[in-house]
């Protein structure tokens, strides 16, 4: 079963489809295409909150980037506490070194590192209060596979500070 089919099995999408900007508008706004699996996710689910925990932003038209909730370019920040910088790639500190696509109620933030082909952009999580391991964690997989592996508990550890999605075989969907 494909990871997309597995995600649909785990998290039933709404009947109503979400309008997303066209490919040219995405490139105009973000300077590049966005990952194909994310575009499928945005089209299928839209602005979503999963299990009242993880909010995933939709792509925005160029004129709306930074004016409302949606994927937006940003950069990481160096913390005054050295342990919070573990896993922080210097490339993340550059303007536009990260694209934020989501956050959760534990103040964890989800990004891509937008280097190279969008379909190979890694998922980067900035964990606010990890129980163990670094604050910055990179996953060399796409967003859909990342979500499915999280729901099945098939990453080395929970990618977030909390366990609301970790091993959650029946996540819920709410329109954001």
Beta strands per DSSP E along the chain:
48-50, 54-56, 72-74, 98-104, 109-112, 123-126, 136-139, 173-175
**What gap in Å lies between CA 83 and CA 87, rounded to an integer?**
9
3-class DSSP state for residue 6? helix
73-130, pLDDT tens digit by residue? Answer: 999 999 999 999 999 999 999 999 999 999 999 999 999 999 999 999 999 999 999 9
pLDDT of 151 strictly over 90: yes
Q: Which domains does the chain have, with CATH numbers?
A: 3-165 (3.40.1580)
Q: Which of 8-17, 33-42, 43-52, 67-76: highest mean pLDDT?
A: 33-42
In this prediction, residue 176 carries a pLDDT of 61
């Amino acid at each position: 079963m494909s990871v997309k089919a597995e995600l649909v099995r785990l998290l039933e999408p709404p009947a109503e489809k979400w309008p997303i900007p066209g490919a040219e508008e995405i490139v105009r706004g973000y300077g590049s295409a966005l990952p194909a699996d994310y575009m499928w996710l945005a089209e299928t689910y839209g602005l979503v909150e999963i299990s009242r925990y993880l909010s995933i932003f939709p792509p925005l038209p160029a004129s709306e980037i930074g004016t409302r909730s949606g994927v937006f370019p940003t950069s990481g920040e160096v913390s005054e506490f050295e342990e919070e910088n573990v896993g922080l790639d210097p490339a993340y500190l550059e303007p536009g070194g990260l694209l934020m696509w989501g956050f959760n109620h534990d103040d964890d933030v989800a990004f891509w590192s937008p280097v190279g082909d969008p379909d190979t952009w890694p998922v980067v999580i900035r964990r606010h209060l990890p129980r163990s391991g670094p604050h910055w964690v990179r996953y060399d997989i796409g967003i859909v596979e990342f979500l499915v592996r999280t729901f099945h508990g098939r990453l080395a550890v929970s990618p977030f500070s909390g366990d609301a999605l970790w091993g959650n075989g029946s996540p819920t969907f709410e329109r954001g």
